[in-house]
Amino acid sequence: DGNSLPHVRLKRLAFSLERVDVPVVAMARVVDTTLLRVYLECSPGLLGPLLRVKNYCDVEQSEGLLLEHQRYMELVDLYHGKGLYRNALQLLQARGGAAEGGPLCGTYATVRYLVRLPADQFELVLEYVRWPLESGVSRRQGHQSPSAADDESAAFSDEEDWPTPATIVSMVFADDRPAAEGFPRTRVASFLRQLSPRLVVQYLEYVFDAWQDEAAALHDDMIAAYLDLVGGVAGGGVRVVAAARQKLQQFLRTSRFYSPEKSLVRLPDGDLFEERALVLSRLGRHEHALSLLVFSVASILLAEQYCVENVDRCPGVFVQLLKIL
């Protein structure tokens, strides 16, 4: 019959399943790394959700693939999830200064990443916060005009990818995160003083206000920072220096935790007599303090004000003033 189908001899195939024990982690590594390959080619938007949660992607293979496709933000997420914080920061610094720009250009990406690090990565935070801060200080100096020397905010503010040093300090150190609160504060203050006394004042004001820190070393550091500002170390204009001196005097009056002996040594000879009088009052040396106000400052009014402020601690202070006069 011409319409009949040709006769085909079917052969029975014999096979059997063999159980192969593959470690779960190894299998998960294959699966997640394969998913990463697929997402890179077909759906890059799913890379973030994959890498920002616990995953088993093979670091070496994934790193090469992400670099090949220039998926730098996702590579940062991969490093972070694997605890490779230094790798992430090295990449952020390299991309932050890249001439061609890109989503990680500038210092903001690095600062935002530093905020994610736990408290036990403090040394790494200090190491990698330096370049955003130094870049911010350099840009501030480049933007500031002579007429703006008396106004810290008039000539320089945050840019999209380049936060100011003040913003960086607020994000990384002067923040209510448990990690920031747990950082060694004397170390932070010492580090910031290398860059600018303004940053020290900003940080310690937050420490005293938010965390009520009574450590004498920190109160001494605040006085040293104010003195740096008054002495023009930060390059401020007349109004900046005057404002710093006013804050210094207020701090010397109100803080109960600084060391008057150390502060007295820090004060310059032949200057800042009002501040010296305030420190002397803490040491109970009222006659010496009054002599400075009367003869060096030449202000009877300030001497009378001094007596009013100290009469509770030294009832005979007005008598001492009369003897001097």
Q: Of 85, 73, 81, whose CA–CA distance to 45 is shortest?
A: 73
What are the tokens at 217? Answer: 């070393």
Query: Would you kindly state where each structural domain of the chain is located, as residue ranges?
Result: 278-325
pLDDT of residue 145: 52
pLDDT tens-digit map of 257-288: 999 999 999 999 889 999 999 999 999 999 99
Task: Tell me whether residue 9 is exposed, middle or buried, using C-beta atoms within 10 angstroms of its C-beta: 0 to 12, 13 to 18, 19 or more.
Answer: exposed
pLDDT of residue 151: 52
What are the tokens at 82? Answer: 């694997």
Query: How far is residue 246's CA from residue 240's CA, in Å, rounded to a whole number?
Result: 10
Per-residue pLDDT of the chain (325 residues; tens, 9 = 90+): 555 656 656 667 666 777 767 688 999 999 999 999 999 999 999 999 999 999 999 999 999 999 999 999 999 999 999 999 999 999 999 999 876 777 899 999 999 999 999 999 999 999 999 999 999 888 776 655 544 455 554 445 667 789 999 999 999 999 999 999 999 999 999 999 999 999 999 999 999 999 999 999 999 999 999 999 998 766 667 888 999 999 999 999 999 999 999 999 999 988 999 999 999 999 999 999 999 999 999 999 999 999 999 999 999 999 898 988 8
pLDDT of residue 20: 67
pLDDT of residue 233: 66
Query: What one-letter code names the amino acid at 27?
Result: M
pTM: 0.85
Query: How far is residue 142's CA from residue 323's CA, in Å, rounded to a whole number?
Result: 55
pLDDT of residue 155: 42
Number of Cβ within 10 Å of residue 72's Cβ equals 19
